């Protein structure tokens, strides 16, 4: 395997660096975006019970905010629980943008690696072909080994670039989808807490229903 990588020429170096970075990002995101770390089980119900019982001292809120992305979102709502509903909702949206940004950390880098992997392979391919033609120009076509070396370097770089890019692209899409799923669940929990903090006002009675009530009272 080492001989094959060395046969790919110097263009293999950036490909190997990209593969190491991609692997590190994948391992880090797998650990960070696991459901138990982002959406701890039962946290939404527990926070709503805190809101009902008034257990909302600063220590509770700080611990909640540091525990998980969902906790950070719910703590932001609880911090302004005495404000009007629209202001609480605005605070949730502002905090949500920061939380989503943190969950998507390094995913742009992973997408960039998926994009440039084939380009690096193509660069190595072009360099290998140039090397082959230069050898042919210097020594003619009498020695097939000179041509084989350039062709081999070109094919190895192409294959290596694709081997790095394809998994990086698939995992980039997977993590994006996972973040989107977490965001939907966090929105549900935040909305439930918002309804708990600021119950919706009763719907106004219409004139017809008022008249009907008056008639039933008269009857």
Instruction: Concatenate the DSSP letters of all residues of 175-193 into one string.
Output: HHHHHHHHHHHHHHHHHHH
Give residue-wise pLDDT tens across range 26-80: 999 999 999 999 999 888 888 888 888 776 778 878 888 898 999 999 999 888 8
**What would the two tokens of residue 135 be?**
């050898």
Sorted by where each begins, the domain ranges of the chain are 2-207
pLDDT of residue 7: 61
Non-local (6+) Cβ contacts of 181 within 8 A are none
Assessment of whether the complete model's pTM goes beyond 0.85: no
Q: Distance of alpha carbon 65 from its chain centroid, rounded? A: 20
Give residue-wise pLDDT tens across range 115-128: 999 998 888 888 77
For residue 157, what are the CA distances in angstroms to 7, 97, 147, 164?
9, 40, 16, 11
Confidence category of residue 219, pLDDT binned at 50, 70, 90: very low
**What would the two tokens of residue 75 be?**
């703590």
Give residue-wise pLDDT tens across range 100-110: 999 999 999 99
């Amino acid at each position: 395997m080492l001989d094959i990588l060395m046969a790919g020429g110097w263009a293999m170096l950036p490909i190997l660096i990209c593969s190491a970075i991609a692997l590190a990002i994948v391992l880090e995101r797998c650990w960070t975006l696991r459901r138990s770390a982002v959406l701890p089980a039962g946290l939404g119900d527990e926070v709503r019970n805190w809101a009902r019982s008034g257990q909302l001292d600063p220590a509770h809120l700080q611990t909640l905010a540091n525990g998980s992305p969902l906790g950070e979102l719910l703590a932001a709502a609880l911090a302004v629980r005495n404000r009007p509903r629209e202001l609480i909702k605005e605070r949730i949206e502002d905090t949500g943008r920061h939380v989503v940004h943190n969950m998507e950390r390094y995913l742009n880098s992973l997408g960039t690696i998926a994009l440039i992997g084939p380009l690096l392979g193509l660069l190595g391919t072009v360099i290998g072909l140039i090397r082959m033609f230069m050898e042919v120009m210097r020594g003619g076509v009498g020695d097939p080994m000179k041509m084989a070396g350039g062709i081999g370097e070109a094919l190895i770089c192409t294959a290596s670039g694709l081997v790095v890019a394809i998994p990086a692209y698939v995992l980039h899409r997977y993590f994006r989808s996972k973040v989107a799923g977490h965001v939907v669940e966090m929105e549900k929990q935040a909305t439930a807490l918002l309804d708990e903090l600021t119950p919706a006002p009763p719907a106004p009675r219409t004139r017809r229903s008022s008249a009907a009530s008056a008639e039933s009272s008269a009857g």
